[in-house]
Structure 1
Amino acid sequence: MDRPQLSRAAVIARGAEIADTSGFDSVTLAAIARSFGVQTPSLYAHVRDLAALRDGITVLALDELAERIGEAIAGRSAYDALAGFGNAHRSYVQDHPGRWESLQRRAGADAVAAPAARRIVRVNDAVLLGYGITGDDRTHAIRIVGSALNGFLQLERIGSFAHSTPAAEQSWPELLDSLHFLLTHWHGRESLRTKEKS
C-alpha cells in the first residue's frame, strides 16, 4: 500500500475534517496520524506541535470565512452588507462547525499575524464603513457585532433555541435588524446618554 503524501496543508486539512466531524477538541496529532495510517512522529516534519496544528486550522477557517464574507458583501453596503456578513457566518457554522469552533478561542501569534486574519479585518471594515464608523469606534462596533452574532450562533448550534417558539429562524432577522439599527444610530449614542442622564 502506498504511503499518503503528507504536507503541512494536507495535515491541517485533515485536522479540519476531523474537527467538523467530531468537534475541535477531538483534533490531536495522534488522531490525524491514525487517519493517514502513519505514526505520530511522522507529522512533526509538517507541524511543530498540537498548538501549531490547531492554529493552522484557525488560519484555514479565517481564510475560508473571509472568502465567504467577501462574496456575500461584494457591491453591497449598510443593511445589505451587514445581512451578507451575518449570513456568511451562519452558513459557515452550519457547513463547518468544527472549523468555526477553532475561531472561538485565543489563537496563537502565528494565526493572529497570518494574512487570513488581515483579510477578516478588511471585510469587517468594509461593512462598518458603510455606516460611517471608523477609528476606535470601529473596534468597539466590530466587538459588539461579533459578540451578538457569535453568541446567537453558538446558542443555536448547541440547541438552546430548540425548545421555545418562535423558531430561531425567525429570530435571526430580528438580530440583524437590531444590529442595523444600532450601527445606523451609532453616532447618536453620546447625545442619547446625555439626554438620559439629564
Structure 2
Amino acid sequence: MPRKTGLNRETIVEAAVELVNREGVGALTLHRLAAHVGVRPPSLYNHIHGMPGLLRELALFNARQLAEQMGRAVIGQSGAPALEKLANVYRAYIKANPGLYWISLSAPQPEDDIELIEAQQDIIQIALLVIESLGYQGEQALHIVRGLQSLVHGFTTLENLGGFGLELDCEVSFQYIVSTFIRGISH
C-alpha cells in the first residue's frame, strides 16, 4: 500500500466523520478508517492514540463544530426568535452529522481533558445566553436548556431513524413543537 501523503490528525478526523456519518457508528474501526484513508492501521497511531484517542478527537470536533454553528446562528439575536433559530440549527446539525452526533452524546466526565470539557461547555453557554434573554437564570435556565436539548434530540433522532411513519411533514411538526415549547416557557 503506498504511503498516504498529507496524513495528519485533521485528515484522520475528517475521514472518520465522513465514515460515521455515511455508514454509522458501527462502521468505525481503526482498520476501516485506515483503509478509508489509504494507509495501514499502525500508521494511524502516529496521529491518534488508538480508538480512545480517535473518539476523543471526534467528540472535540463535534463540540467545536456545533458551538460554531449555534453561535453564528444566534449572534445578535435574543428572545424567542433566537431560541427558535437555535433549535433549528441544532436539528440541522444532527441531521447532517448523525454518526458524529451519536458518538458525542455523553456528557463530559471529570476525567475528560479540559479542552474537551471547555468545548462542550461552549455549547451550553450559547444555549444559556439565549435562555437568559428570555428572563431565566441559574438552575431554571439549565432545566430549560435540558428540555430544549431533549426535544430536539428526541425528535431528530426519531426522524433520522425513520420513526415517523405518518404522512405528515416533519418540518411542520418540528416547528409546531418548538413554538409550543417556546410559548410554554414564555408564560
TM score, norm. by length of structure 1 = 0.84
Residues 1-198 of structure 1: pairs in structure 2 closer than 5 A: 3-105=4-106, 109-110=112-113, 113-161=116-164, 163-185=165-187
Q: Give the residue type in structure 2 aligned to 1:12.
A: V
CA contact (8 A) 2:124 2:145 kept: no
Distance, in Å, in 2 between the alignment partners of 1:148 and 1:111 is 28
Moved over 4 A (4+): none
Q: Which runs of 5+ in 1 are unaligned?
A: 186-198
Q: How many residues align?
A: 184
Identity of counterpart residues, as a percentage? Answer: 26
Separation in 2, partners of 1:166, 1:143 = 27
Cα distance, 1:59 vs structure 2: 1.4
Shift of 1:111: 7.7
Shift of 1:157: 0.8
How many angstroms apart in 2 are the aligned matches of 1:112 and 1:168? Answer: 36
> 2:66 touches 2:93 (CA, 8 Å); kept in 1?
yes
Summarize the Cα distance change of 1:2–1:49 in structure 2 as closer, same or farther, 3 Å threshold. Answer: closer
1:4 aligns to what SS in structure 2?
A: coil
Mark the CA change 1:53 to 1:107 in structure 2 (over 3 Å): closer, same or farther: farther
Whether the aligned pair in 1 keeps the contact of 2:74 and 2:82 (CA below 8 Å) is yes
CA separation of 1:172/1:117 partners in 2, compared to 1, >3 Å: closer, same or farther?
same
Structure 2: state its 5+ residue gaps.
Answer: none
Q: What is the alpha-carbon distance in structure 2 between the residues aligned to residue 118 and residue 159 of structure 1?
A: 30
Give the Å deviation of 1:112.
7.3
Q: Contact (CA 8 Å) 1:62, 1:120: kept in 2 or not?
A: yes
CA distance 1:25–1:72, shift in 2 (3 Å): same
Bigger-Rg structure (1/2) = 1
TM-score (norm 2): 0.89
Q: CA, structure 1 residues 146+112, in 2 after alignment: closer, same or farther (shift >3 Å)?
A: farther
Shift of 1:181: 1.9
Instruction: Report the Cα distance in structure 1 between the residues aligned to 2:107 and 2:51, rounded to whole angstroms.
Output: 14
User: Which 10-residue stretch deviates more, 48-57 or 103-112?
Assistant: 103-112
Shift of 1:37: 2.1
Out of 99-108 and 31-40, give the one that drifted further. Answer: 99-108
